[in-house]
Structure 1
Amino acid sequence: MAGEIPPAQPPPAGPDPVPHPYLLMWRWRRNPLRRSSDRLRAWISLGILLAVLVAAPAAMFGVGDSAYRHYRSTAEHEERTRDHRPAVLTHDAPRHPEPGSDEAKETRYPVPVRFTGPDGVSRTGTTEVEPGLPADSTVLVWVDDEGRITEPPLSAEQICSRTMGWAILAFLGVVITGLAAHAATGLVLYRRNLAQWDAAWANTAPRWSRLP
């Protein structure tokens, strides 16, 4: 029928347009649609960004330095309290299904061993050895000051790796905290805007619904 308004058609499917940089800064520009909460959110976002830019590197270096000192001290303590001692296998080590393969070279099996502790007393324990070693073979094990088989002292590579891990975690923690703070403030301001809109509509709607 002539004069009818056709129904609205959905926009054609396609990728979302990338906002122009000028549009991304709309909260900073004066315009009649900008609310006080928009300006507040812009300042809060800027403050959070600056805080993250300062705090993230500081946290990374601070935590990294503390972690390095801790692990360096731990390694020095382990070097003083741990000793490399010979131990004798009391059982044959299992044989690898593929002797001579690259996997066999990397594989280690736990086997009972007998060794002499720091106090001179014969002890037994379990350590990982190469496949196929026969009983009575001698291997070297790390023993602590209480006579227990343990891991070797931390190496320089392990200290560096663990230090970097804690430093990265600290950096990411600050960034994630900043993102969470930004999202939380945005949610609070959004709910505040909704409440203001509801109040404004409750005041305006009765005047619109009055009959002439």
Structure 2
Amino acid sequence: MAGETPPAQPPPGPPPRPLLWRWRHNPLRRRTDALQAWAGLALLIAVLAVAPVAAALVGDAARRHYEDTARHQTLTRYETTATLTRDAPRHPEPGSDEEKRTRYPVEVRVVTRDGRTRTTRTEVQPGLTAGTTVRVWITADGEATGPPLTRKEIRSRTMGWALLAAIGVALTGAAAHALTGLALRRRNLADWDTAWAETAPRWTTPT
């Protein structure tokens, strides 16, 4: 309707900068802008080059470590039959899916390879009664433990360490880029203060 005051509009923001503006020659481009552009490119190339190498080296070291661990576990662990010395607790919801996943720590009796009988604790299904036998993994000393690492577990852990190495390189590059930008911004502010100190007297000194 004629005569109505149009709603207030927000002030325009800074004009969008074109892609790769720091690479283009223009009177307003500062030396630090070009320096930041080259530093960013160098860091990107470094990350792309170093990340795969770091992932490969760390992954190989992790694989060898876990393979050695698995071999040691295979030599020092074995599966045997254990007998419950007391009843396992019963789950409050018998027959539920949660009961099927639940395990309770219970004291069991095992016989080691050298013929010694000893007790240890392992996790069993709920509701098992004393005297029930279960299969458990134990050490040479008769302590309950887990089975040796499988090939799938070794591969999964190796990939995890390799991925962490690559991410670490990328984060290091990002941090270096941020610190470089911060240092250059401080330099720009210092140059601005110096230029203003030289220019301000011309504006404020009466003629």
TM over 0.5: yes
- Segments of structure 1 that go 5 or more residues without pairing to the other structure are 1-7
In structure 2, the partner of 1:50 is 45
In the alignment, structure 1 residue 211 sits paired with structure 2 residue 206: yes
Q: d(CA) in 2 for partners of 1:85 and 1:62?
A: 38
Q: d(CA) in 2 for partners of 1:18 and 1:194?
A: 21
After superposition, the C-alpha distances for 1:132-181 in whole angstroms (9 at most, x for unaligned) are 11101111111112322111111222212211211111111011100000
In structure 1, the partner of 2:80 is 85
Give every structure 1 segment of 4 or more consecutive aligned residues whose post-TM-superposition deviation is greater than 3 Å. 16-20
- Segments of structure 2 that go 5 or more residues without pairing to the other structure are 1-7
Q: d(CA) in 2 for partners of 1:53 and 1:99?
A: 55
CA contact (8 A) 1:108 1:130 kept: yes
In the alignment, structure 1 residue 106 sits paired with structure 2 residue 101: yes
The answer to which of 152-161 and 192-201 deviates more is 152-161
Relative to the length of structure 1, the TM-score reads: 0.88
Q: d(CA) in 2 for partners of 1:75 and 1:93?
A: 31
Deviation of 1:17 after TM superposition, in Å, equals 9.5
- Which of 162, 167, 171 aligns to 2:166? It is 171
Count of paired positions: 200
The one-letter code of the counterpart of 1:97 is: P
Aligned in 2, Cα 1:92/1:9: closer, same or farther, shift over 3 Å? closer
**1:20-39 to 2 correspondences below 5 Å:** 23-39=18-34
**1:15-164 to 2 correspondences below 5 Å:** 19=16, 23-164=18-159
Q: RMSD of the alignment, in Å?
A: 2.0
Deviation of 1:11 after TM superposition, in Å, equals 2.3
CA contact (8 A) 1:118 1:146 kept: no
The one-letter code of the counterpart of 1:196 is: D
What secondary structure, in the 3-state scheme, does the structure 2 residue paired with 1:91 have? coil
CA contact (8 A) 1:94 1:109 kept: yes
